[in-house]
Amino acid sequence: MKVKYIINLHKGTTFIFVLGLMVAYHNFTLGPWVYLALHGTYGFLWLLKDQLYPDKQWEQEISLLTSLVGFAAISLYWVAPFILISNQVEPPLPLVAAAIILNILGVFLHYGSDAQKYYTLKYQAGLITDGFFARCRNTNYLGEILIYLTFAMLTMHWLPFVILGGFIAGIFIPNMLKKDQSLSRYPEFDVYKTNSGLLFPKLFGNSSQTAEKSAKA
């Protein structure tokens, strides 16, 4: 059993899960349809990404028990559609528009930066300091956070925000710090770190940065 199997299962069944909630609660209002389109599409794009440019960190072998616990943990993301649909939440149109805008931005950052990382490393090992990673060392995580933030926004409830915060504090930030530690082996990393943000882009930095092009470890 590999980590990617439980992640892909969750991503691929999200559309079915959300649609099932809509049927179960007879809720076919604007909010659920928008949520279905955003979260469902995100899941399908994840499966497509896994075929085109998979992330090697998800190839790790895990036990059956760990996989079950892992699936239960990431299924906490399904709390958002459950609240939205079961509580008959009607998000106002300006909020829906804001969620769609941020979701599109998040998808662009997440999948675009992952593609850059994959294809750069495929042909040239090293430290990526340009493109999506020029001013932010974890553009993919930033994009993913924006995506799940929009799902929480549509529910208009505090619990999905707490769940997202838990994933950020318990998984995303430790992984980002671990990545920084790994990249510190490159002599040009100190300059790159000075000119880039851990999660949010550092807009003002040294334009004379000469760290060599290439990849996120």
Q: What is the pLDDT of residues 31-42, one digit of tens each?
A: 999 999 999 999
For residue 205, what pLDDT is reported? 62
Report which residue type is found at 60: Q
User: Is residue 141 in some structural domain?
Assistant: yes
Task: State whether residue 177 is helix, strand or coil.
Answer: helix
Domains of the chain: total: 1
DSSP 92: -
Closest by CA to 40, choosing from 2, 96, 81, is: 81
pLDDT in tens, 199-210: 999 987 664 444
Q: Is residue 204 part of a domain?
A: no
Q: Compute the distance between CA of residue 55 and CA of residue 140 in angstroms, rounded to an integer.
A: 12
What does the pLDDT read at residue 206? Answer: 61
Q: Is residue 49 part of a domain?
A: yes
Residue 133 domain flag: yes
First-residue to last-residue Cα distance in the chain? 23
Provide the token pair at 215.
Answer: 């990849």
The parent domain of residue 163 ranges over 3-194
Spell out the residues 6+ positions from residue 135 whose beta carbon is closer than 8 angstroms to its own. 195, 196, 197, 201, 202, 203, 205
SS3 state of residue 10: helix
Alpha helix locations (H) across 58-187? 64-74, 79-86, 93-123, 139-155, 158-167, 173-183
Q: Is residue 211 part of a domain?
A: no
Whether residue 8 is contained in a domain is answered as yes
In a domain, 43, yes or no: yes
Question: Residue 26: which residues within 8 A CB-CB, separation 6 or more?
Answer: none
Number of helices (H), then strands (E), belonging to the chain: the values are 9, 0
pLDDT reported for residue 212: 42
C-alpha 108/C-alpha 86 separation (Å) is 30
| 94, amino acid identity | P
Q: Can you tell me the distance from the alpha carbon of 60 to that of 56, in angstroms, rounded to the nearest whole number?
A: 8
Residue 197 φ/ψ, nearest 5 degrees: -95, 155
Query: Which residue stretches of the chain have pLDDT < 50?
Result: 207-217
212 DSSP 8-state letter = P
Q: What are the backbone dihedrals phi and psi of residue 2, each rounded to the nearest 5 degrees, phi first?
A: -105, 155
Separation CA 147–CA 103 (nearest Å): 5
Note whether residue 200 is domain-resident. Answer: no
